[in-house]
Amino acid sequence: MTLHAISVADLDAVAALHCVSWRSAYRGILSDAYLDGDLLTDRREVWHLKLSMMTDRAFGWLARHDGEPVGFAFASLDDDPTWGTRLDNLHLLPSHHGAGIGRGLLTAVAHVADERATHPGLFLWCYEQNTRARAFYEHLGADAVERIMYAAPDGQSHPEWRYAWRTMPFAP
């Protein structure tokens, strides 16, 4: 696996990975109509905006295996004064789950946050029904610290948990 910093040039790869990941991980959470609709156009629009307006406070990594994009992570430094850096996205192709790529991406985010963030800690939001992801974060030492109802992009509300590492995971 290799990692490189995400840039605007990665727009199509990131949008495609995001679609495949959502269609797998969020099936049964988000509506089938939304997941089976024109999700790629939606994710391209979202990522075009994020990547074209990146500042030094937002960053991400694209993971490749044998040269092919297989996952990505994207984060915002100091997003919350209490919880620190927000891991906004961590997505993998389902065929690459369990290969250490998610942990590698999370580690890369944690290293950048440890070096550059003002507020300590790392957090993310995870759908309550996304039990696979929740187990992954818990296995890596995150605590579920807050539950909210989230207005999801499919127009429904779903419970989400804030997962947080009080100290930076995997940082040197």
Domains and CATH numbers, the chain: 2-165 (3.40.630.30)
Query: In the predicted model, is pLDDT for residue 172 greater than 80?
Result: no
| % of the chain with per-residue pLDDT over 70 | 97
Among candidate residues 147, 138, 141, the one with its CA nearest the CA of residue 166:
141
pTM equals 0.94
pLDDT, tens only, 24-71? 999 999 999 999 999 999 999 999 999 999 988 999 999 999 999 999
Rounded to an integer, the average pLDDT of 150-164 is 97
Enter the tokens of residue 134.
């929740």
DSSP 3-state of 37 = coil
pLDDT, tens only, 101-135? 999 999 999 999 999 999 999 999 999 999 999 99
Q: What is the pLDDT of residue 171?
A: 53
The pLDDT-based confidence of 10 (bands split at 50, 70, 90) is: very high
Q: What is the pLDDT of residue 158?
A: 97
Q: What letter does residue 60 receive in the DSSP assignment?
A: E
Q: What is the pLDDT of residue 73?
A: 98
Enter the tokens of residue 76.
């915002």
Residues 6+ apart with CB under 8 A from 145: 83, 123, 161, 162, 163, 164
Query: In the predicted model, is pLDDT for residue 170 greater than 70?
Result: no
The pLDDT-based confidence of 167 (bands split at 50, 70, 90) is: confident
Question: How many C-beta neighbours within 10 Å does residue 110 have?
Answer: 24
The pLDDT-based confidence of 166 (bands split at 50, 70, 90) is: confident
Q: What is the pLDDT of residue 163?
A: 98
